[in-house]
């Protein structure tokens, strides 16, 4: 479990289409099997990203940390656009290549997340992805995977050469086809989603989805209305199911201002929420059945 408590942060976003409150929490954990944590997370409104590093020795740790550091600079600059993100990822590639301990040609990192974009006319969440970390959306009590994995197994499934059931335990399940690294493209896939009160996003590394099914993720969202509590429940279940990889999770909730705070939320932290003008941030199908707790575990190793 994380060394420090997981806490929920919130801000009110002023929008022409109606104000919303955005609340979020994040965690990254080494898991039970890995010696080091090669994941890194950025949860700084309006950008929320998970990076899952890979590479010999500590190369993956350096790759994910370098990528998150460059993306944090974008947030601090205040102009978050696809162009700004891609420039940051290109700088991260330079940082990774220049580091003396990233000599493995396979060194790189996934980068997956969301950011709130406002162009003065239509606000939207922009989903971005390189690699096999994932973004899920829980909307209208149904969960859908928004991103498409850049992995060998996903390509085999898409071509009809492998069934989803066969993919769960495929020996090449960890082989990804795109990453942020010295020999890779840094242009993510993008998906645009409308901003809607009631939506809940889960951004996670494959350390979570190796241990929990989509139904399992939905189960813990339903049981825990507070982002921090949902994260803690998912992390505990993933560790109990094996914790075979590093585990990173971000939960982002969108609610109407004035909506009752979740029962597990920290009243002191939500009594006076900061506000932000949405304009300042400019620059699939699911299931509606309550999951059986026996179906919340991910595929076996």
pLDDT digits (tens, 9 = 90+) for 197-214: 999 999 999 999 999 999
Instruction: Answer whether residue 46 shows pLDDT above 60.
Output: yes
Q: Which of 13-27, 127-141, 225-239 has the lowest mean pLDDT?
A: 13-27
Q: Is residue 225 part of a domain?
A: yes
CATH of the domain at 169: 3.60.40.10
Predicted pLDDT at 287: 37
| Residue 185 placed within a domain | yes
pLDDT-derived band of residue 8, with 50, 70 and 90 as boundaries?
very high
Q: Establish if 227 belongs to a structural domain.
A: yes
The pLDDT mean for the chain works out to 85
- Distance spanning both ends of the chain, measured CA to CA: 21
Q: Is pLDDT of 88 > 50?
A: yes
Q: Is 200 contained in some domain?
A: yes
Residue 1 is assigned to a structural domain of this protein: no
What is the count of structural domains for the chain? 1
Tell me whether residue 19 is in a domain.
yes
Residue 3 lies in a domain: no
Residue 68 scores a pLDDT above 60: yes
247 within domain boundaries:
yes
How many C-beta atoms surround the C-beta of residue 32 within 10 A?
14
Give the range of the structural domain holding residue 134, as residue numbers without chain letter. Answer: 9-295
Say which range, 95-109, 164-178, 235-249, 280-294, has the weakest mean pLDDT. 280-294
68 versus 260: the higher-pLDDT residue is 68
């Amino acid at each position: 479990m994380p060394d420090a408590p997981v806490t929920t942060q919130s801000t009110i976003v002023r929008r022409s289409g109606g104000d919303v409150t955005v609340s979020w929490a994040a965690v990254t954990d080494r898991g039970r099997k890995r010696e080091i944590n090669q994941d890194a997370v950025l949860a700084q409104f309006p950008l929320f990203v998970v990076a899952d590093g890979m590479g010999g020795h500590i190369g993956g740790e350096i790759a994910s940390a370098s990528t998150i550091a460059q993306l944090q600079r974008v947030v601090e600059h205040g102009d978050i656009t696809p162009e700004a993100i891609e420039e940051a990822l290109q700088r991260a590639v330079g940082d990774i290549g220049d580091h003396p301990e990233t000599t493995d040609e396979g060194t790189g990192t996934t980068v997956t997340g969301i950011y709130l974009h406002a162009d003065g006319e239509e606000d939207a969440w922009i989903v971005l992805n390189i690699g096999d970390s994932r973004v899920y959306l829980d909307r209208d009590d149904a969960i859908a995977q928004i991103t498409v994995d850049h992995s060998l197994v996903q390509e085999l499934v898409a071509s009809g050469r492998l069934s989803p059931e066969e993919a769960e335990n495929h020996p090449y399940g960890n082989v990804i086809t795109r990453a942020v690294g010295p020999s890779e493209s840094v242009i993510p896939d993008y998906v645009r989603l409308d901003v809607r009160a009631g939506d809940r996003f889960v951004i996670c590394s494959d350390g979570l989805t190796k241990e929990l099914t989509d139904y399992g993720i939905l189960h813990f969202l339903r049981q825990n209305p507070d982002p921090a509590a949902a994260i803690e429940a998912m992390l505990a279940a993933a560790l109990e199911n094996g914790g075979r990889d590093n585990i990173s999770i971000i939960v982002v909730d969108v609610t109407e201002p004035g909506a009752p705070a979740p029962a597990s939320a920290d009243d002191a932290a939500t009594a006076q929420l900061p506000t932000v003008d949405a304009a300042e941030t400019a620059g699939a199908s699911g299931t509606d059945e309550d999951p059986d707790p026996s179906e919340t575990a991910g595929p076996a190793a």
